[in-house]
Amino acid sequence: MAPSAPASQQRMRQHNLSLLLHILAEDGPASRAALATRTGLTRAGVSTLTEELIRAGLLVELGRDRPGRVGRPGSALGLAETGLCGLGGEVGVDRIAVCAMDLRGRVRIRHEAASANRASAPGPVLARLREMAEAVAAEAAQCGLRPAGLAVAVPALVRRGTSTVVHAPNLGWQHTDVAAYLGGELPLTVDNEANFGALAHLWRSGEPAPEAQGRPGRAPRTDRSSFTSRASRGQVAGSGDSAAAAGAPDGSSLRDFLHVSAAAGIGAAVIQDGRLVRGRHGFAGELGHVPVYPSGPRCACGGRGCLEQYAGEPALLRAAGLDGRPAEAAPSGEGRGAALVPLARRAQEGHPAARSALRSAGRAFGIALAGAVNLLDPETVVLGGSLAPLSSWLLPPMEAELRRRTAAPGEAPAVVPSPLGTDGPLLGAAHSVVRAALADPLGYVAAANGRA
Amino acid sequence: MAPSAPASQQRMRQHNLSLLLHILAEDGPASRAALATRTGLTRAGVSTLTEELIRAGLLVELGRDRPGRVGRPGSALGLAETGLCGLGGEVGVDRIAVCAMDLRGRVRIRHEAASANRASAPGPVLARLREMAEAVAAEAAQCGLRPAGLAVAVPALVRRGTSTVVHAPNLGWQHTDVAAYLGGELPLTVDNEANFGALAHLWRSGEPAPEAQGRPGRAPRTDRSSFTSRASRGQVAGSGDSAAAAGAPDGSSLRDFLHVSAAAGIGAAVIQDGRLVRGRHGFAGELGHVPVYPSGPRCACGGRGCLEQYAGEPALLRAAGLDGRPAEAAPSGEGRGAALVPLARRAQEGHPAARSALRSAGRAFGIALAGAVNLLDPETVVLGGSLAPLSSWLLPPMEAELRRRTAAPGEAPAVVPSPLGTDGPLLGAAHSVVRAALADPLGYVAAANGRA
């Protein structure tokens, strides 16, 4: 335990309210008795706390656990599917998207539009995002959902603790305060898309909690092959960007990974002990600018031979002989990663230049990742974003370099394509709003008590 | 807040006891009234808790704050300088050392002996360490100190949560369980020397708390140039290897840094948000095996062109024309970093090969660090260990590469030599035992209550 403020009755209540919400978010519906067993709280304590959460509209009674048993203790509680929701937004190079996610982590509404944002002015782009967010909020209201906040993913360096884009090379934005353009009443968070993509993976965003959540007939969750079990029991997810205060001693269960989030550029995010590593200014994760061949081509960042010079979208297309064909290379309206579709087609057809470009990119990736792996010792490297569909060509040379260059003998991490595809940043953004509400329910509880 | 277990009266008490101890450790002696103001606890609460800590021998009354005032509230409390202490041990390539550190963070006893541990068998080396630890514990007992535990720093990959050295290339140890050799009753922790070195820097080990700690005439601490203020007020140090649960939003105050800890090999450790980044297996921080020139010389790790091939001790000596002169290169009995003394002398004298070797090593360091900086965005890079005395030659080329290759414009971190020199790992090891005792005082309090 790392004390940062005195424990008090009020903080204890806050802690326990949040604990109950997170258990229900992670494990699905449970009876009061099961919650008492799971937490170590008394049955009476659980009853009082859950009553407050029901009054605040965060929890609902789902009816009896088993028809044969009588009385409230057997009645399952679950997170509400109306009431609060999180709004997530994304400004990509070629699209804008907004979604609303309910407390159960399900996407309920989703709007997306192609948008040529490369070298754009922030004003019109963010005006479109605001309109889309308002439209999604209006639809959400019709489902009985009201946004607790809005989080926006951008392909940019965002100064930590602010809503300011310091530098977005592919949008062409510099020192842009997103809050100033978006306005509005909702609490706003702005972060790098790679960070939200990694958090989506950590939180398994878009995948509802395991049990039936009140709807009969759903099978319990079975672990997917690339997902080991989420977090050991007793380790529950917390606020903002961390999954648990105390890590499993062996760091197990997908709590230490490197998440690569390639779009027009190559971003990444580091999750360690279930927490996002942000860095001093919030600029951590710039895998695209790790030097690979230090005397290589000059990069826009001022360096030479950065990973983006070998595995970034323009470099890949150029090496494959596909640059200068914008019509084929970037068909409009196909959304994220569309520019790489022709490359995948050619590689599939066995086109030598395409295959060779992917092999070189995979090797460069492997060299940059070897440095990252030696520094960070992740359990897994997750390949998300627009490069994920190219995994079958990128992975073999990447893994070969990783195996050769990982210092700890026999301990090279697995590289797995992200199951979230290109949707990670949008899902992670929406989920971050939901997680923040679950971590800090006291305001909602107090408001309900005020109404009572 | 990240809930991981229910809050209860018992945990609340534990939390608050630990909070008081950490405030006294960070800020020095304080009156009960000051502690109440500082924590937000009631005066009565502070009185009860501090009484328990005094009975447990962790705190002492230091007498009146100001002679003019009367009564206990004005009496300053401080951490005890007798009672519990932490034992730190170090197995280096050319020495063994053990020290005892009191609760105030002061080294009270320190033994060191030259020891040729390169390519050694673990048995005799660890037998010598055990003997030294017993001798230090016996001297400590004469000062009224009893060890709460022993922590040992080794130049090795240590599997997380165990006392097993997986691989110590410079000692020649593999799969060695240090606990099995050391035996004894004391709780034992074994960790990589670079990790303990970084923690020593984080905790400012060896530097007593700022105020007088009961001895008149000492001036309050003034910040050293390379140390910005430790942690913002309200952020207090916690257990084990973290300084605070909640980070300052801008990550300020030496909570995000990369600590390079060069000895025979090049190790490093990453501190993020005041916590040590350990990685899945505990193998994070292998800066020496970050690829610099991917087609460069083959490295013992299996890779090619790793940083150690350019800036490791043997590579440096070879490049400077100083290899094959073991008598000059490694005078016995000069302790850590002795092998590099002749190199520093030659560089000082302007010897071209020495200067050129250091320039190339600095450039290679800068390239490897640029990758680390782009991934982790640290505030500072601290250069510790045996390379610190070579800073004046290494730093200029290192910083030039860093400036050129840092992706965030104008945000390259400062590189500063460690003020702890080669003693960081030993101090950090001892301090980790002290910090663990301060973070978990309940056992000592319960034992005292049992005696009462």
Q: Residue range B171-193: average pLDDT? A: 94
Q: Which residues of chain A are within 8 Å of residue B283 when distances are taken between CB atoms? A: 377, 407-408, 411
CB contact under 8 Å between A371 and B371, yes or no, is yes
Q: Please, which pLDDT band fits residue A449 given cuts at 50, 70 and 90? A: confident
Q: Please, which pLDDT band fits residue A42 given cuts at 50, 70 and 90? A: confident
pLDDT computed for residue A310 by the predictor: 95
Q: Please, which pLDDT band fits residue A264 given cuts at 50, 70 and 90? A: confident
| Among A2, A161, A275, beta carbon nearest to B239 | A2
- Per DSSP (E only), the strands in B104-192 are 107-114, 145-154, 157-158, 164-168, 173-177, 188-192
Q: Please, which pLDDT band fits residue B409 given cuts at 50, 70 and 90? A: confident
pLDDT computed for residue A325 by the predictor: 52
pLDDT computed for residue A91 by the predictor: 97
Q: Please, which pLDDT band fits residue A408 given cuts at 50, 70 and 90? A: confident
pLDDT computed for residue A40 by the predictor: 83
Q: Residue range B178-196: average pLDDT? A: 94
- Rounded CA-CA distance A167/A114 in Å is 22
- Rounded CA-CA distance A378/A159 in Å is 25
pLDDT computed for residue A209 by the predictor: 58
Q: Mean pLDDT lowest for which of B99-113, B139-153, B228-242?
A: B228-242
What pTM does this model have? 0.86
CB contact under 8 Å between B376 and A277, yes or no, is yes
Q: Are B432 and B148 in contact (CB under 8 A)?
A: no
pLDDT computed for residue B110 by the predictor: 97
Q: Which position has the higher pLDDT, B437 or A225?
A: B437
CB contact under 8 Å between A370 and B303, yes or no, is yes
Mean pLDDT, all residues of chain B: 84
Q: Which position has the higher pLDDT, A68 or B172?
A: B172
CA nearest neighbour of A282 among A301, A261, A299, A267 = A267
Q: Please, which pLDDT band fits residue B268 given cuts at 50, 70 and 90? A: very high
Q: Which residues of chain A are within 8 Å of residue B10 when distances are taken between CB atoms? A: none
Chain segment A65-81, per-residue pLDDT in tens: 555 555 444 689 999 99
Residues 161-220 of A with CB under 8 A from B: 161, 166-167
CB contact under 8 Å between A284 and B6, yes or no, is no
Q: Which residues of chain B are within 8 Å of residue A306 when distances are taken between CB atoms? A: 405, 407
Half-sphere exposure of B241 (CA within 13 A, CB side): 26
- Rounded CA-CA distance A210/A105 in Å is 11
pLDDT computed for residue B26 by the predictor: 87
B450 burial type by CB count under 10 A (0-12 exposed, 13-18 middle, 19+ buried): exposed
Q: Mean pLDDT lowest for which of B65-74, B120-129, B193-202?
A: B65-74
Q: Residue range B186-213: average pLDDT? A: 83
Q: Please, which pLDDT band fits residue A234 given cuts at 50, 70 and 90? A: very low
- Rounded CA-CA distance A154/A264 in Å is 12
- Rounded CA-CA distance A39/A47 in Å is 13
Half-sphere exposure of A386 (CA within 13 A, CB side): 27
- Rounded CA-CA distance B434/B103 in Å is 6
Q: Please, which pLDDT band fits residue A3 given cuts at 50, 70 and 90? A: low
Q: Residue range A266-295: average pLDDT? A: 95
Best mutation target among B14, B49, B290 (most A Cβ atoms within 10 Å) is: B290
List, in order of start, the domains of chain B with CATH numbers.
8-80 (1.10.10.10), 83-206+426-440 (3.30.420.40), 257-419 (3.30.420.40)
B324 touches chain A (CB under 8 A): no
pLDDT computed for residue A374 by the predictor: 96
Q: Residue range A173-185: average pLDDT? A: 93
CB contact under 8 Å between B283 and A160, yes or no, is no
Chain segment B302-322, per-residue pLDDT in tens: 899 999 999 998 899 999 998
Q: Which residues contact B272 (CB under 8 A, 6 or more apart)?
A: A272, A277, A278, A279, A284, B255, B256, B376, B378
Identity at A187, one-letter amino acid code: P
The residue written with tokens 């150690």 in the block is B308
pLDDT computed for residue B452 by the predictor: 61
pLDDT computed for residue B150 by the predictor: 98
- Model confidence at B394: pLDDT above 60: yes
The CA distance from A3 to the nearest CA of chain B, in Å, is 6
pLDDT computed for residue B387 by the predictor: 83
A356 touches chain B (CB under 8 A): no
CB contact under 8 Å between B251 and A282, yes or no, is yes
pLDDT computed for residue A337 by the predictor: 61
- As a whole-number percent, the residues of chain B with pLDDT over 90 amount to 64
- Rounded CA-CA distance B408/A302 in Å is 10
Q: Which residues of chain A are within 8 Å of residue B22 when distances are taken between CB atoms? A: 3
| Among B1, B256, B288, beta carbon nearest to A15 | B1
Residues 211-270 of B with CB under 8 A from A: 234-239, 242-246, 249-252, 256, 268, 270
| Among B243, B272, B280, beta carbon nearest to A251 | B280
Q: Are B405 and A301 in contact (CB under 8 A)?
A: yes
A233 burial type by CB count under 10 A (0-12 exposed, 13-18 middle, 19+ buried): exposed
CA nearest neighbour of B242 among B172, B305, B195, B286 = B195
CB contact under 8 Å between A280 and B256, yes or no, is yes
| Among B234, B273, B374, beta carbon nearest to A289 | B374
- Model confidence at B280: pLDDT above 60: yes
CB contact under 8 Å between A374 and B290, yes or no, is yes
Q: Residue range A1-26: average pLDDT? A: 79
Cα angle, residue B285 at apex, residues B125 and B392 outer, rounded to 5°: 90
CA dihedral B113, B117, B122, B124 (to 10 degrees): -50
Q: Nearest chain B Cα to A307, which residue?
A: B371
Q: Which residues contact A140 (CB under 8 A, 6 or more apart)?
A: A85, A87, A100, A108, A109, A146, A147
CB contact under 8 Å between B256 and A279, yes or no, is yes
The CA distance from B9 to the nearest CA of chain A, in Å, is 9
- Rounded CA-CA distance A31/A65 in Å is 7
Residues in chain A: 452
Q: Which position has the higher pLDDT, B300 or A426?
A: A426
CB contact under 8 Å between A371 and B290, yes or no, is yes
- Per DSSP (E only), the strands in B169-325 are 173-177, 188-192, 257-262, 266-272, 275-277
Best mutation target among A173, A290, A309 (most B Cβ atoms within 10 Å) is: A290
- As a whole-number percent, the residues of chain A with pLDDT over 70 amount to 82
Could you give the C-alpha distances from B116 to A348, B34, B125, B318, B341, in angstroms and in order? 58, 51, 9, 21, 18
Best mutation target among B228, B376, B442 (most A Cβ atoms within 10 Å) is: B376
- Rounded CA-CA distance A45/A258 in Å is 39
pLDDT computed for residue B12 by the predictor: 82
Q: Please, which pLDDT band fits residue B64 given cuts at 50, 70 and 90? A: low
Instruction: Give the residues across from B64 on adjacent strands.
Output: B75
- Rounded CA-CA distance A438/A418 in Å is 26
pLDDT computed for residue B289 by the predictor: 96
Chain segment A285-322, per-residue pLDDT in tens: 999 999 999 999 999 888 999 999 999 989 999 999 98
- Model confidence at B332: pLDDT above 70: no
- Rounded CA-CA distance A310/A361 in Å is 5
State the DSSP H helix or E strand holding residue A85, giving kind and residue range, or none if neither: strand A83-91
- Model confidence at A223: pLDDT above 80: no
Instruction: Give the residues across from B31 on adjacent strands.
Output: B76
- Rounded CA-CA distance A203/A243 in Å is 8
ipTM of the complex: 0.86
Q: Mean pLDDT lowest for which of A156-170, A256-270, A309-323, B408-422?
A: B408-422
